[in-house]
Structure 1
Amino acid sequence: MPRCGRVGRLFELCLWLLTKNIPRYISDIKPLPPNIKDKLIQIMSFQGQITDSNISEILHPAVESLDLRSCDISDAALMHLGNCRKLKKLHLNSAKENRTSITSEGIKAVASSCVYLLETSLKRCSNLTDEGVSALAIHCRFLRILDLGGCPGITDRSLRALGDNCPQLRSVDFSATQEIHMGHCVNLTDEAVEAVLTCCPQIHILLFHGCPLITGADFPPRDHSEQVKTLRDVACASKSDLKWSCHLAFHTEISPPQNGTFPPLLSSVTRCPTLS
């Protein structure tokens, strides 16, 4: 075996042993060089080993990506991101249950320091409010992708802030923005959708299933019918969902509602000759 291959395997083995004994060696991690810390961050993130108590030892100022989806952290951990001013991607999604330990206080701390953020995932951070999203919009003006799915505290105020401050936005899986996922954000209204489509001209995908206050009654579809090309994964729980999909989409993939049946929708569909 080539010498470089042996060294690489030995290095990986040492890192693996280190992650298995983090409490014992935590004080030895902080002085490690950034390239080794990056490897540790990757391994520990995947294994869910990054916590409020050890994150300050693991981070370094040149960190550009941080995936904490599998880690049990709170706002206390986010306060340590103040030195990571080059951070571009931050994933705090909760894959299954709501993450209640992340609030707007932690997100505000991140936003004020990590102004070069391009991608932020906050799915199911159920205690997030407009205050946190507004801070992201104001400070992180390069933001392109934002996932706010399952954040019931979000209202029209957040979308207005994003529309006013984030012209690069491409995806709001709630940005240049091309996709918006606002599913189950129950406080959003037609006004929020209108504001985003008007202020973020690059949005091409709009998802808003499970938003009972969005009716589409006052929305002028002609102004944006060329802008929004696709509406995906619409759970048609009401006529208004399909009404919007017909107005805004050239291609629609419709998922059945939880009860397995669709409401009477024929009259709406017949007005949408471009649907395929």
Structure 2
Amino acid sequence: MAKRLSDVCLECIANNLHTISSVGKYLPTVHKEILLERLANHDQLTPEYLPHISYHLLSPSLTQIRFYKCQQVTDALLKNIGKTGCKLQSITIHGCNEVTDAGIKAIVTEQDELHTLELRKLPHLTCQGLQHVASPVLKHVDLRQCSKLENRCVQALVNNNPSISTLIIPFCPKLSDELAGQVGQVLGPNLETLDIGGLYDLNDASMAVMAKNCNNLKKLFLHGCNRITKEALKQIGDNCRQLQQLDLSYCYKVSSSSDSEGLLHLPSSLQDLSLCGTQVNEETLPDALCRLIHLKKLKLCGIGSLTESNMEKIFSAIGHQLELVDFNGCGGVVTDDILRSVVNHCKDLESLALSFCTQVTGNTLYPLLENKKRAENITTLVCSGCRSLSYDVLLAIAESCVNLEWFAVAGIVCVNDVILQTLASNCHRLKVVNFKTCKEITDEGVCALASNCPLEDIVLSGIHGLTDKSVLAIANSCPQLDTIYLSGCALITPVAVRYLQDVSLKRIYVEHRTPNADPNTVMAKNLDTGEFCRVDYSKLTKL
């Protein structure tokens, strides 16, 4: 894996806006938008460089902006973009703590072609900014984790934009329960996706109003709404007949003995259901699930009432249609016998999550792994904390699951370089890996994986033998990297991590907490290979 030539050219332009004459005249709009995003991702919106950025890249032709966790994005920059008169179709500003209502007002005012608005994790956003959003074609709104957002802010937004079909407002602590009903009354049948996770005081009455008005709802996320009961579920079942995805994670009351019958009223149209942490009793669970004849994704994380007989009953009834089964956090409840039921009945399985299922050896997975077609269907295997998982099973996964994209085996001590090299040879779509505390892994395995797989999210924390060699291999081979965890890797230096952040196309989230890192290191270019390598400073001083 390596950067495309177009990425290298854009990187060169980004770093030389101050020296290339009139470059903005020759750049198409799409490249101006990419350059703006990448300059923000690498914190290059400095006072010295910003005039050149504004001159070459800010243009009336801009159609989208994306700023992610850049504290150099300020109200002044947003005002300058607004002054260009551009007609934006998509705005994403995520985690930019310096942005206030003044900047949001400047960027959204008179944007009547806007169809996507994502203002996430903005601590200063209030009604003063949102009330200026008014677009007849606005469809998608994401305001998650905006700490000052109040009911009246969202009410003003939906009143001015009744065409909204996707509203994502989870974990905004100042929102209260009546909002769900108010949103439902305004958006009505236009609303197709609603995420109000973390709305802890949401009650049955508000849910009833929402369900009755929003009969075209397809996706509903109620994560942590622990006051709703069977009455809310009945209203959802009776009115939302097109619902495809429902998240009831940690909605504790729906699993109580008096309210669990509400699960029997869930709409049969469901394709994706999450019951994580709900502790549904073992008598209700099969009756509730077996009637969902279109279900494709089933998440039962942390449920302690799973039994082999119930799982056999469920999977024999609906296993043929399931593509995802999630048992994460089920401890010793999930056994190889339950896994056998999954293998026997889920012929089209694509994703299997077993984290912290400590009794599973994986031996009952062999019929799936030995079937070429079924093994090639697997894209996700999450097995972190499965301390009993067999080495031979892990090796068979690496050999057979050639379309694997997500592989997590944190805490499994037998994972070694052989498994990583096998993954590197066979799994050329692998993007997400978690090898935390797999201490048998060395630079050799990581370098092989980085060179052959388009890695985007990597966890290597607690592997003490890794050095800068691994980080440099990732830097030179994985330009789309998004996240990397390296805490406890004491031989990896901050210099190598900084280089990784500089050469990546995206803004990389790095966690690298380690004591006593050697500060006396520098990076130098290998003239034979063209790659940058770590050079020991003490050796250089002796030359």
1:15 Cα deviation from its structure 2 partner: 1.0
Aligned mates of 1:66, 1:104 — CA distance in 2? 20
Contact residue 271 and residue 294 of structure 2 kept, 8 A: yes
Alignment partner of 2:321: what SS? Answer: coil
Q: Structure 1 stretch 185-194 or stretch 232-241: which is displaced more?
A: 232-241
Cα separation, partners in 2 of 1:245 and 1:181, compared to 1, 3 Å: farther
Kindly, what percent of the aligned residue pairs are identical? Answer: 16
Question: Which of 49, 54, 59 does residue 266 from structure 2 map onto?
Answer: 59
Contact residue 409 and residue 434 of structure 2 kept, 8 A: no
Question: Which of 438, 441, 465 does residue 240 from structure 1 map onto?
Answer: 441
Q: Does 1:180 align with 2:388?
A: no
RMSD: 4.4
Q: Does 1:82 align with 2:290?
A: yes
Aligned mates of 2:435, 2:247 — CA distance in 1? 36
User: What's the CA shift string for 1:194-237, capped at 9, x where partnerless?
Assistant: 22233322114432221123345588639825636445333134
What is the one-letter code of the residue matched to 1:147?
A: A
Contact residue 328 and residue 356 of structure 2 kept, 8 A: yes
1:8 Cα deviation from its structure 2 partner: 4.3
Q: Does 1:125 align with 2:330?
A: yes
Q: TM-score, normalised by structure 1?
A: 0.70
Question: Which of 311, 336, 349 does residue 107 from structure 1 map onto?
Answer: 311
Contact residue 378 and residue 403 of structure 2 kept, 8 A: yes
Contact residue 61 and residue 84 of structure 1 kept, 8 A: yes
Q: 1:190-269 maps to which residues of 2 (within 5 A)?
A: 190-216=391-417, 221=422, 224-225=425-426, 227=428, 229-230=430-431, 232-240=433-441, 244-250=445-451, 251=455, 253-257=458-462, 262-266=463-467, 269=470
What is the one-letter code of the residue matched to 1:110?
A: I
1:38 Cα deviation from its structure 2 partner: 7.2
The residue that corresponds to 1:134 in the other structure is: 340
- Give 5+ residue unaligned stretches, structure 2: 1-158, 163-183, 190-203, 212-225, 479-543
Q: Does 1:156 align with 2:349?
A: no
What is the one-letter code of the residue matched to 1:189?
A: S
Alignment partner of 2:356: what SS? Answer: coil
Aligned mates of 1:45, 1:266 — CA distance in 2? 40
The residue that corresponds to 1:50 in the other structure is: 254
Aligned mates of 1:207, 1:103 — CA distance in 2? 25
1:111 Cα deviation from its structure 2 partner: 0.8
What is the one-letter code of the residue matched to 2:314?
A: V
Alignment partner of 1:146: what SS? Answer: strand
Cα separation, partners in 2 of 1:61 and 1:215, compared to 1, 3 Å: same
Aligned mates of 1:179, 1:230 — CA distance in 2? 10
1:167 Cα deviation from its structure 2 partner: 4.0
Question: Which of 1, 11, 15 does residue 208 from structure 2 map onto?
Answer: 15
Contact residue 142 and residue 168 of structure 1 kept, 8 A: yes
Larger-Rg structure: 2
Cα separation, partners in 2 of 1:7 and 1:197, compared to 1, 3 Å: closer
The residue that corresponds to 1:71 in the other structure is: 278
Aligned mates of 2:357, 2:445 — CA distance in 1? 22
Aligned mates of 1:47, 1:109 — CA distance in 2? 24
1:57 Cα deviation from its structure 2 partner: 3.6
- Give 5+ residue unaligned stretches, structure 1: 170-174
Cα separation, partners in 2 of 1:167 and 1:48, compared to 1, 3 Å: farther
Alignment partner of 1:224: what SS? Answer: helix
Contact residue 249 and residue 274 of structure 2 kept, 8 A: yes
Cα separation, partners in 2 of 1:212 and 1:269, compared to 1, 3 Å: same
1:152 Cα deviation from its structure 2 partner: 1.0
Aligned mates of 1:166, 1:54 — CA distance in 2? 41
Contact residue 143 and residue 168 of structure 1 kept, 8 A: yes
Contact residue 329 and residue 355 of structure 2 kept, 8 A: yes
Q: TM-score, normalised by structure 2?
A: 0.39
Alignment partner of 2:285: what SS? Answer: helix
Contact residue 366 and residue 393 of structure 2 kept, 8 A: yes
Contact residue 75 and residue 105 of structure 1 kept, 8 A: no
